Amino acid sequence: MLLEVKDLHTHLEAGGETVRAVDGVSFGIKPGETFCLVGESGSGKSVTALSVIQLLPRDISRHPGGQILFRARDVQGHSEVVDMLQLDEARRRQIRGMRMSMIFQEPMTSLNPVFSVGDQIVEVLKLHQSHLSDAEARERAVEALAQVQIPNPAERANEFPHRLSGGQRQRVMIAMAMACEPDLLIADEPTTALDVTVQAEILRLMRELQERNGMSILFITHDFGVVAQMGHRLGVMRLGKLVEEGTVRQVLDHPEHPYTRQLIDALPENLTRRREAAGEGGRPAPVGEPLVRLDDLQIHFPVRKGLMRRVVDHVRAVDGVSLAIPRGQVLALVGESGCGKTTLGRAILRLVEPTGGQIHFAGDDITRLPRARLQPYRRRMQIIFQDPMSSLNPRLTVAAMLTEPMAVHGIGIDKEDRLVRAAQVLEQVQLPADTLWRYPHEFSGGQRQRIGIARALVLDPAFIVCDEVTSALDVSVQAQILEILMALTRERGLTLLFITHNIGVVEYLADTMAVMYQGRVVEYGPARQICHQPQHEYTRKLLAAVPRLSP
């Protein structure tokens, strides 16, 4: 075994209380093997990984029991088995980065914004391979960037993190982790917020590097499709304990623990099958005027340069889009980051001003309406944002967030009546009435997303833009949110524009589907038809990149 974790206990001190974050976990990883660790947020996956590499803050963490046995090699190739919990800090630092390294979930918070990406890789190399000259370390850093297929690596080495895309930043993190050719790579949700095509490239890259270097991987994720594609063995964590372990196919095809079965049942592809079995495979095509219609919609952003800030060009974020969303239907808008999905959704609500074309809502042209005349439409058109934590005001209680919009639009007789209405909406999104008197930071990510849905619903809208509302959620929480949205479309006759890059979600929720690429809609039609018989080359590329549960 390269790594053997035996009966590991990790306790965290928080607010005078002790949290058993890892509670008697045992597993092993062989050389060249990928061990996947799955579970919901708070199950202890990341704390287990940070315990293995010993990066938890000393003042709030302790290990009352267990061993972390790692076969560490020195520069000459000699190896010895060491217990990471018993080593002094100097020896741990020798192993970290050199023989054991980690890719963190969010590269923008892990990369230093004031240093170029090349300098940050050079720092790792100089720290662990002090015999390298500055020129040699620089050359190795450029090679590392080339190895992760960053275009023009010599030039990109001089870029700062904010100048790179999300996928490129994640590649830089992999390059930094791989620079010293470690024996064990710990990858903590490295593809969670990436588009499916970028995710596919990152996963392919990690497999290639693994085969080339004979490296072992501890892969932490909540995406079973990624597990099926990457893993050899799989462990399922719940509340700090490892509740099931086995080969990937054994656990995915024949799960034994109820919690594992619950997670697999919550996958969108399995939700879709349950919906079809219940006879809800598709709603009848609506007739009459669509609720929302776009005619040749264009949104161009000026590019200014020079001392006088003159306009030298335009970014065509949305470049001539025509769509119709029938009443009571769900239109899924899919595509990679930067294709114009979110800009289009915000333009429909007039949160972004269109450059050209027309926006029709309920038969009315609202493209050029002044702010005062737009007010009545605001009540009927709402949006649920991608990140509920940044879109909810941390200083307001849930009661204030829900009753304030009602007061603005004259809904309810008085404050008490509005509080009753707010409690009723919370019940619809499966939150208790006492939620009203709490603040956003007191809730989990899934609960905050439900509050975001409730805030959109209190005005009784006809149309809601859902902007990547499930992208960062666990599969079980995602399933709950999707089922709530599905029920609301049935009960309230809501019309949804569902912006996403998760094709599985599209198959479950959407009636029609539009695929965006570089500001244009390249394919548009019934969701099921496009998912199973895509016509455009870009759509086929998107669908091929989706990691599937089946081999």
Last residue of a domain, one of 141, 165, 181: 181
Q: How many separate domains does the chain show?
A: 3
Cα-trace Rg, the chain: 25
> Which pLDDT score, from 0 to 100, does residue 398 have?
93
> Which pLDDT score, from 0 to 100, does residue 75 have?
67
**Length of the chain in residues, anyone?**
551
Residue 256 has pLDDT above 80, yes or no: yes
Residue 288 has pLDDT above 80, yes or no: no
* 3-class secondary structure, 492: helix
Q: Output the domain CATH number for residue 352.
A: 3.40.50.300
Q: Mark out the alpha helices in 429-500 (DSSP H runs).
A: 445-457, 475-492
> Which pLDDT score, from 0 to 100, does residue 273 have?
58
Mean pLDDT of 245-254: 93
Q: Clarify whether residues 304 and 248 are in a common domain.
A: no
User: Which residue segment(s) compose the domain that 85 sits in?
Assistant: 3-99+183-265
Last residue of a domain, one of 129, 154, 181: 181
* 3-class secondary structure, 212: helix
> Which pLDDT score, from 0 to 100, does residue 28 have?
95
Last residue of a domain, one of 136, 161, 181: 181
Is the residue at 287 inside a domain? no
Measured in degrees and rounded to the nearest 5, phi and psi for residue 23 equal -130, 80
Of 182-186, 231-235, 304-308, least confident by mean pLDDT is 304-308
pLDDT band at 278; cut points 50, 70, 90: low
Q: Clarify whether residues 364 and 477 are in a common domain.
A: yes
Q: Clarify whether residues 21 and 129 are in a common domain.
A: no
Measured in degrees and rounded to the nearest 5, phi and psi for residue 396 equal -105, 140
Structure letter (DSSP) for residue 140: H
**Residues 507, 303 contacting (CB under 8 angstroms):** no
Residue 466 has pLDDT above 80, yes or no: yes
> Which pLDDT score, from 0 to 100, does residue 322 have?
94
Q: Is the pTM of this model over 0.85?
A: no
Query: Measuring CA to CA, which residue among 215, 210, 143 is closest to residue 179?
Result: 143
Mean pLDDT of 91-109: 83
> Which pLDDT score, from 0 to 100, does residue 403 have?
94
Q: Clarify whether residues 384 and 480 are in a common domain.
A: yes
- In three-state form (DSSP H/G/I as H, E/B as E, the rest C), the secondary structure along 117-134 is HHHHHHHHHHHHCCCCCH
Class of residue 70 by CB neighbours under 10 A (exposed 0-12, middle 13-18, buried 19+): buried
Q: What is the per-residue pLDDT across 23-57, written as a single tens digit (0 to 9) for each?
A: 999 999 999 999 999 988 778 898 999 999 999 88
Q: What's the CA gap between 29 and 2, in Å, rounded? A: 6
Q: What's the CA gap between 264 and 277, in Å, rounded? A: 17
Class of residue 526 by CB neighbours under 10 A (exposed 0-12, middle 13-18, buried 19+): middle
Residue 284 has pLDDT above 70, yes or no: no
Q: What's the CA gap between 513 and 471, in Å, rounded? A: 18
Q: Clarify whether residues 14 and 71 are in a common domain.
A: yes
Q: Clarify whether residues 370 and 231 are in a common domain.
A: no
Better-scored residue on pLDDT, 307 or 240: 240
> Which pLDDT score, from 0 to 100, does residue 70 have?
93
Q: What is the per-residue pLDDT across 480-503, written as a single tens digit (0 to 9) for each?
A: 888 888 888 888 888 999 998 777
Is the residue at 117 inside a domain? yes
Percent with pLDDT over 70 in the chain: 95
Return the amino acid letter for 165.
S
Is the residue at 190 inside a domain? yes
Residue 425 has pLDDT above 70, yes or no: yes
Residue 193 has pLDDT above 70, yes or no: no
**Residues 482, 267 contacting (CB under 8 angstroms):** no
417's enclosing H/E stretch is: helix 415-428
pLDDT band at 156; cut points 50, 70, 90: confident
Q: Clarify whether residues 140 and 232 are in a common domain.
A: no
Q: Clarify whether residues 305 and 415 are in a common domain.
A: yes
Is the residue at 57 inside a domain? yes
> Which pLDDT score, from 0 to 100, does residue 4 have?
95
Q: Clarify whether residues 247 and 338 are in a common domain.
A: no
Residue 282 has pLDDT above 70, yes or no: no
Is the residue at 176 inside a domain? yes
User: Two tokens at 9?
Assistant: 């206990």
Residue 134 has pLDDT above 60, yes or no: yes
